[in-house]
Amino acid sequence: MPEYIIAMMDSGYQGVHDYLPFALIPVKSSKNHPLTDDDRAFNTVLAKCRIAIEHVNRKLKIFRICKETYRGKGERGLIRVNLVAVLSNMLSLA
């Protein structure tokens, strides 16, 4: 992956900085190291940026295109994902 791409990920990707130096992941707290106010503010801003992505993921899962294994032939899967994305965008505009 190119170095100039900034990836916004959730807390399940701890340790991704070894592979993606510009990845943005939320700061986790522990019993001995509670979150500071700056850490809380960073987590809030990151969550507000990621919520749009999570809504798109939800719509694609409703159409079951990203939830199950595609069992069609050849490259039709990508065409169907694009079709569902277009339908999803049209429904959100209506």
Number of domains making up the chain: 1
Establish if 6 belongs to a structural domain: no
**pTM of the shown model:** 0.64
Asked if 17 contacts 2 with a C-beta cutoff of 8 angstroms, the reply is no
78: containing domain? 11-93
pLDDT in tens, 22-74: 888 899 898 999 999 999 999 999 999 888 888 877 877 777 766 777 677 76
1 vs 66, more confident: 66
Dist. CA 70–CA 41, nearest whole Å = 40
Dist. CA 76–CA 82, nearest whole Å = 10
Establish if 30 belongs to a structural domain: yes
Establish if 5 belongs to a structural domain: no
* Helix axes 37-62 and 76-93, enclosed angle (nearest 10): 110
Establish if 88 belongs to a structural domain: yes
Torsion of CA 27, 55, 49, 81, to 10 degrees: 100
Establish if 4 belongs to a structural domain: no
